[in-house]
Chains A and B, each alone.
Chain A
């Protein structure tokens, strides 16, 4: 088997030279981190569209190479297994985002609406379209099955109020990637006092998501 399957990381690095340089291996780990964070955070996190796009590019590239290979090639089967594994993570990541969009759609759309000019988008363009459509479908459905039969003054339904918001006070498990000092822990009961903790690199903790939410988006901690 030729080197056609070799992963031309050179190509890719040139493509997004404006981005920080990332080896394909680092790209895959950042996809896996995003996957776990998304799985465990109570709210929808910022979309990692560039990571998803780069991974997809890698996969298509690899798959088109694989099509040219003869049957029964030992290397090809190993490459295929790897591709399948990466695809699994990718779909699971995207699926857990869609589940959260379905769960919190009015709030997700509201946050997207109130987003300042230039602030990073919470949703990829596809997810945004999905959320809007889901919102419209839910409204149409509720109107058709119930609301239109109600007295006129009861026909309005505020989905923002009716659909529960993500609970940022949920507890999460996390592992520290970059040391953080003086994280303020708020008291749970009146007879407790607030205190601060240092998060050492590599240590694991259980605490409220609200306290460390900014550290999740900056990548300083990993949810587990």
Chain B
């Protein structure tokens, strides 16, 4: 899957905005939005929030977890724990990038947040590689991967699944006779 497709999914997450215009309720296929009143916070999907923001029609309120103190705590925990710790949003990386790139003026300490999230991401990716290696070397058949996000899985997916496939084929060599392709004539 392309990272931009993961980002596309992240854009469906809801975020609070404060509009500076008024508009009645909109009946979208995917659900109703609004009504919009100047100064009154309202929940909209990120794709709409960013569009309105770019047209200077609203102010974006960052999600609660997008906060230096909270992220610092999370970073410490992530570094301390061996397992993956729960993430504040299944799209934390994508949302950070989207909101910081398009609405950084609405987010206090944007640069610090960017660095913190990147730190958390790096720690998690290092853990992910470690688990991938042990999954392969132990030749395991099942792993529980709670708390991993789609973007994290996605960075390693093609490589990891292809490797597992190769390993499976090489392992089936060990059972002679199980191979169906004995001198196949096409």
- Which chain A residues have a beta carbon within 8 Å of chain B's beta carbons? 3, 5-7, 24-25, 28, 32, 39-40, 58-59, 62, 74-75, 78-79, 81-83, 85-86, 88, 92, 157-158, 161-162, 167, 169-173, 185-189, 192, 197, 202-208, 224
A206 to B139, CA, bound (A): 13
Q: Indicate if B148 sits at the interface (CB-CB under 8 A).
A: yes
Q: How many residues of B contact A (CB 8 A)?
A: 39
Among B25-33, B69-77, B104-112, B119-127, the stretch in contact with A? B25-33
Q: Known: A39-B1, A81-B48, A206-B143. Contact between A6 and B27, CB under 8 A?
A: yes
Q: How many whole Å from A49's CB to the nearest CB in chain B?
A: 19
- Establish whether residues B186 and A157, one from each chain, have CB atoms under 8 Å apart when the complex forms: yes
Q: Indicate if B161 sits at the interface (CB-CB under 8 A).
A: yes
Chain A hits for B9, CB < 8 A: 32
Q: Which of A78, A158, A161 contacts B48 (CB 8 A)?
A: A78
Listed residue (B5, B11, B26, B150) with the most chain A CB atoms within 10 angstroms of its CB: B26
A110 to B70, CA, bound (A): 56
Q: Which of B23, B31, B47, B139 contacts A189 (CB 8 A)?
A: B139
Nearest to A5 among chain B residues (CB) is B27
Q: Known: A81-B47, A81-B51, A92-B5. Contact between A187 and B23, CB under 8 A?
A: no
Listed residue (B141, B144, B147, B168) with the most chain A CB atoms within 10 angstroms of its CB: B141
Q: Known: A185-B141, A224-B150. Contact between A169 and B26, CB under 8 A?
A: no
Q: How many whole Å from A6's CB to the nearest CB in chain B?
A: 4
Chain B hits for A192, CB < 8 A: 139, 141
- Establish whether residues B145 and A78, one from each chain, have CB atoms under 8 Å apart when the complex forms: no
Q: Which 9 A-B pairs have the closest CB atoms?
A: A6-B27, A206-B143, A204-B145, A188-B139, A207-B142, A185-B142, A188-B141, A25-B31, A171-B164
List 17 A-B residue pairs with CB atoms under 8 Å apart, sorted by A's residue number.
A24-B30, A28-B29, A58-B29, A75-B23, A75-B24, A75-B26, A78-B51, A81-B51, A85-B8, A85-B47, A86-B29, A167-B165, A169-B165, A169-B168, A171-B165, A188-B141, A207-B141
A188 to B168, CA, bound (A): 8
Q: How many whole Å from A39's CB to the nearest CB in chain B?
A: 6
Chain B hits for A189, CB < 8 A: 139, 171
Nearest to B160 among chain A residues (CB) is A171
Interfacial residues of chain B within 39-54, with CB under 8 A of chain A in the complex: 47-48, 51
Chain B hits for A173, CB < 8 A: 145, 153, 157
Q: How many whole Å from B11's CB to the nearest CB in chain A?
A: 8
Nearest to A156 among chain B residues (CB) is B186
- Which chain B residues have a beta carbon within 8 Å of chain A's beta carbons? 1, 5, 8-9, 11, 21, 23-24, 26-31, 33, 47-48, 51, 135, 139-148, 150, 153, 157, 161, 164-165, 168, 171, 184, 186
Chain B hits for A202, CB < 8 A: 146
Q: Known: A167-B165, A171-B164, A224-B153. Contact between A62 and B29, CB under 8 A?
A: yes
Nearest to A7 among chain B residues (CB) is B27
A6 to B139, CA, bound (A): 55
Chain B hits for A82, CB < 8 A: 28-30
Q: Which of B28, B146, B171, B186 contacts A203 (CB 8 A)?
A: B146
- Establish whether residues B26 and A161, one from each chain, have CB atoms under 8 Å apart when the complex forms: no
- Establish whether residues A74 and B23, one from each chain, have CB atoms under 8 Å apart when the complex forms: yes
- Establish whether residues A187 and B141, one from each chain, have CB atoms under 8 Å apart when the complex forms: yes
Q: How many whole Å from A168's CB to the nearest CB in chain B?
A: 11
Chain A hits for B161, CB < 8 A: 170-172
- Establish whether residues A206 and B142, one from each chain, have CB atoms under 8 Å apart when the complex forms: yes
Q: How many whole Å from B59's CB to the nearest CB in chain A?
A: 18
Chain B hits for A59, CB < 8 A: 29
Q: Known: A170-B165, A206-B145. Contact between A24 and B29, CB under 8 A?
A: yes
